[in-house]
Amino acid sequence: MIVTTAETVAGRTITSTIGICRGNTIRARHVGTDIVAGLRNLVGGEVGEYTKLMAEAREQAYDRMVADARAKGADAIVAMRFSTSAVSQGAAEILAYGTAVKLD
């Protein structure tokens, strides 16, 4: 599956637009992670526990978007984007979305 943030696929022609494809996940922080992150906030630097949490969430949302596009018969996803929103205190949604298309 070709996935791009561009609106076209280099060297290929989009023959039809299938429609929006998307995948999402909601992740909550873990109490143990919050304690470690709180200590790290005191000394500064990257909060690796949160970086890992968000990277895993993005990957899961991305995989679900690709699965949605495949189920719709797409060859590629163009104009792919990520969006994040707070669902509740300590929980965030990651949404991956784009336009599923057929290529020549």
Q: pTM, whole model, 2 decimals?
A: 0.86
Distances (CA, A) of 58 to 41, 52, 53, 104: 23, 10, 9, 29
Q: What is the pLDDT of residues 43-102, one digit of tens each?
A: 677 777 788 888 999 999 999 999 999 999 999 999 999 999 998 887 899 999 999 999
Question: Which two three-digit tokens encode residue 86?
Answer: 């707070």
Residue 42 belongs to a domain: no
Number of structural domains found in the chain: 1
Residue reference for tokens 């909550």: 28
Domain at 24, CATH number: 3.30.110.70
Residue reference for tokens 């929980």: 91
Residue 71 belongs to a domain: yes
Residues 6+ away with beta carbon under 8 Å from 53:
27, 29, 33
> Could you tell me which residues are beta bridge partners of residue 92?
27, 86
Q: Which domain holds residue 75?
A: 2-29+57-103
Residue 17 belongs to a domain: yes
Residue 75 belongs to a domain: yes
Residue 51 belongs to a domain: no
